[in-house]
Amino acid sequence: MYDSVVLEAWRSGDAGPLATELAEAAVFSSPVADYHGRANVAHMLSVIATVLDGVDQSAVWPGDRDRMFAFTARADGENLQGVIREERDADGKLHHVTLFLRPYRVLRAAIATMARRLEDSPLPEPAA
């Protein structure tokens, strides 16, 4: 089975190495907004690693340059199910990461936690 580099970073709690996997013009599509640029995407994925725990990859759908991964996790002690899509460019770098999470009640609480964390640790580059 293929492993998601994003889920592995969240599982380990160390999203730092993800920056080397990201294309310069990477995009992260979260349930809330899109984030552009390697620095912002790496930052968002790192902050998410502090919100989710118990991340466990449960399925994979491989493609030529993209893969989708189902996973379970916990946020604020509540169970989440999610899917993450990792799209790579011709050089093998992640150029688009899309995150889907449910159920909404738990997602809403996780969004509030993310907002507080981002107040303490804002995006490194201003949004375009």
Domain residue extents for the chain: 5-120
Within 8 A by CB and 6+ apart from 80, the residues are 52, 72, 73, 74, 101, 102, 103, 106, 107, 110
**pTM check: above 0.95:** no
The per-residue pLDDT for 16 is 83
CA pair distance 39, 22, nearest whole angstrom: 9
Does the CA dihedral 74-18-99-114 come out positive or negative?
positive
Q: Per residue in 64-105, pLDDT tens?
A: 899 999 999 999 999 999 999 999 999 999 999 999 999 999
Q: Which residues pair with 98 in a beta bridge?
A: 29, 85
CATH code of domain 5-120: 3.10.450.50
Whether 32 contacts 111, CB under 8 Å: yes
Task: Go through the chain and tell me how many residues it has.
Answer: 128
